Structure 1
Amino acid sequence: MLKPDQSIGPHFNKQSNVTKENYLIRLTTSIEAVRYLLHQGLAFRGHDESQESTNKGNFRELIQLLAEENDKVKKAVQSAPSNCKMVAPEIQKDIANCFAEIIVKSIIEEIGGDVFCLLVDESADVSCKEQMAVVVRYVDKLGVIKERLIGIVHVKETSASCLKSNIDNLFAKYGLSLKQVRGQGYDGASNMRGEFNGLRALILRENSPAYYIHCFAHQLQLILVAVAKKNDDANDFFDMTSLLISVVGASCKRKDMIREKQQERIRKAVGNGQMSSGTGLNQEQSLQRAGDTRWGSHYKTLKSLCNLFPEVIDVLQYVEKEGPNDAKRRQARGLIDYLKDFDFVFHLHLMLLILGHANALSLSLQRKDKDILEAMVEVKLTKQKFQQIRDDGWESLLETVYSFCEEHGIPKLDMDEDYIDRHKPRKNTNRTNYQHYRYDCLNPVIDLQLAEFNDHFDEVNSKLLTQFASFNPKNSFEAYKFESLMELAQVIPRRF
Structure 2
Amino acid sequence: MVSKKYWGLPSDDSSDTDDSDVEMEEVPQVQPAKLLDVDTAIDFMRFVFKEGLAFLDNGSGRCLADRMFVDLGGFMVDKMLEQPQRDGPCRMRMLKPTFENDLAQAFAKEARKGIAKELQGDFFGIFVDMCSPRDTYKYYMVLFARYVNCKGEVEERLLGIVPDSDTFDSAPYLKAAALSMLSEAGLSLQSVRGQGYGMPGYSDKFLNELTSMLDGAHASAYYVHPHVCPLHVHLVTACYDQSELFQLIQTLDVLSNLVQKSPQFTEKLCTLIQESGVNLDNDLRKPGETNWGSYYEAIVKFAAHITPICDALEFVDEVSRDDVKFMVYKINQGLTYDFFFGLLLMQDVLGVTNELSLALDRKGRDAENFAALLQDAKKQLQVMRDSGWTPFLNRVGMLCNDNDIPMATMGEKYVPRRRSKDAEATTKTYLDYYHVDFFQKVINKQLEVFDRRFTKESSELVLLASCLNPRNSFHSFDKDKLVRFARYYPSEFSDSATATLELQLEAFIRDVRSDARFLGMDALSSLSARMVETGKNIAYPLVYLLLKLALILPGTPATVKPASTAMKLIESAITREPCNQWISDCLLLFLEPDIFESITNDAVIPYLEAAGHSEPAA
TM-score, normalising length from structure 1? 0.62
Contact between 2:259 and 2:266, CA under 8 Å: does it hold in 1? no
Query: For the structure 1 residues 330 and 203, does the alpha-carbon distance in structure 2 shift closer, same or farther, using more than 3 Å as the test?
Result: closer
Q: Which amino acid aligns with 1:353?
A: D
In structure 2, what is the Cα distance between the partners aligned to 1:177 and 1:488?
22
Question: Secondary structure of 2:382's match?
Answer: helix
* Greater RCO (Cα-Cα under 8 Å, separation 6 or more): 2
- The gaps in structure 2 that reach 5 residues or longer are 1-36, 82-90, 417-426, 495-618
**Alpha-carbon distance in structure 1 between the residues aligned to 2:481 and 2:194:** 22
> Is 2:241 aligned against 1:229?
yes
Equivalent in the alignment of 1:462: 459
Residues 89-104 of structure 1 aligned to structure 2 (within 5 Å):
100=108, 104=112
Structure 1 position 261, deviation (Å): 1.0
Measured against aligned partners, the alpha-carbon deviations of 1:47-91 in whole angstroms (never above 9, x if no partner) come to xxxxxxxxxx947x7554357779969999xxxxxx999999866
Q: Does 1:313 align with 2:325?
A: no
Q: Is 1:261 the counterpart of 2:268 in the alignment?
A: yes
Whose Rg is larger? 1
The structure-2 alpha-carbon separation of the partners of 1:282 and 1:314, relative to structure 1 and needing over 3 Å to count, comes to closer
Contact kept, 8 Å, 1:120 with 1:185, in 2: the verdict is yes
How far is the alpha carbon of 1:219 from its aligned partner? 6.6
Alignment partner, residue 15 of structure 1: none
> Per-residue deviation at 1:117?
0.6
The Cα offsets for residues 322-372 of structure 1, whole Å up to 9 and x where unpaired, read as 9969x9799679749x55x6x754543232121233454334323444355
SS in 1 for 2:224: coil
Distance 1:247 1:259 in 2: 10
1:8-47 alignment runs, 5 A limit: 30=44, 33-34=47-48, 36-38=50-52, 42=56
CA distance in 1, matches of 2:231, 2:282: 33
Distance 1:469 1:74 in 2: 49
Distance verdict in 2 for CA 1:108–1:256, change over 3 Å: same
1:148, CA displacement in angstroms? 0.7
In the superposition, relative to structure 1, how do residues 97 and 109 fare at CA in structure 2: closer, same or farther (>3 Å)?
same
TM-score (norm 2): 0.52
> Hey, what does 1:183 align to over in structure 2?
194
- Alignment size in residue pairs: 426
**What are the within-5 Å matches in structure 2 for residues 289-438 of structure 1?**
296-297=294-295, 300-301=298-299, 303-304=301-302, 306-316=304-314, 319=317, 335=333, 345-370=340-365, 372-390=367-385, 408=402, 419=411
Write the letter of the residue equivalent to 2:459: S
Q: Bigger shift: 199-208 or 155-164?
A: 155-164
1:16 alignment partner in structure 2: none
Question: Bigger CA drift: 171-180 or 390-399?
Answer: 390-399
Matched, 1:478 2:492: no
Matched, 1:118 2:126: yes
CA distance in 1, matches of 2:332, 2:480: 64
Indicate the SS of the match to 1:176.
coil
CA distance in 1, matches of 2:180, 2:455: 33
Query: 2:181, 2:223 → 1: CA distance?
Result: 20
- 3-state DSSP of counterpart to 1:206: coil
Residue by residue over 1:375-398, the C-alpha shift from the partner in whole angstroms, topping out at 9 and shown as x without a partner, is 433322221332344567568757
Residue matched to 2:224: 213
User: 1: CA distance between counterparts of 2:468 and 2:386?
Assistant: 37
CA distance in 1: counterparts of 2:216 and 2:76, whole angstroms: 62
Residue of structure 2 equivalent to 1:144: 153
The 3-state SS of whatever aligns with 2:190 is helix
In structure 2, the CA distance between the partners of 1:319 and 1:247, relative to structure 1 (3 Å rule), is farther
**1:202 and 2:213 equivalent?**
yes
Instruction: Answer with 314-323 or 446-455: which moved more.
Output: 314-323
Residue by residue, what CA displacement relative to the aligned partner does 1:136-174 show, whole Å, maximum 9, x if unpaired? 111234433221113457898886666666555544554
In structure 1, give the amino acid aligned to 2:207.
Answer: R
Cα 1:144–1:397 shift into 2, 3 Å: farther
SS at structure 2 position matched to 1:454: helix
Q: Percent of aligned pairs with the same residue?
A: 23
Which is richer in helix?
A: 1
Paired residues of 2:141 and 2:164 also in contact (CA < 8 A): yes
Contact kept, 8 Å, 1:361 with 1:379, in 2: the verdict is: yes
Query: The residue matched to 1:134 in structure 2 has which SS?
Result: strand
Conserved? CA contact 2:131–2:141, under 8 Å: yes
Asked if 2 retains the 8 angstrom alpha-carbon contact of 1:290 and 1:301, the reply is no
Q: Once the 2 structures are TM-superposed, how far is the Cα of residue 115 of structure 1 from its aligned partner? A: 0.8
Q: Is the 8 A contact 1:225 1:295 kept in 2?
A: no
* Matched position secondary structure for 1:65: helix
- SS in structure 2 at match of 1:149: strand
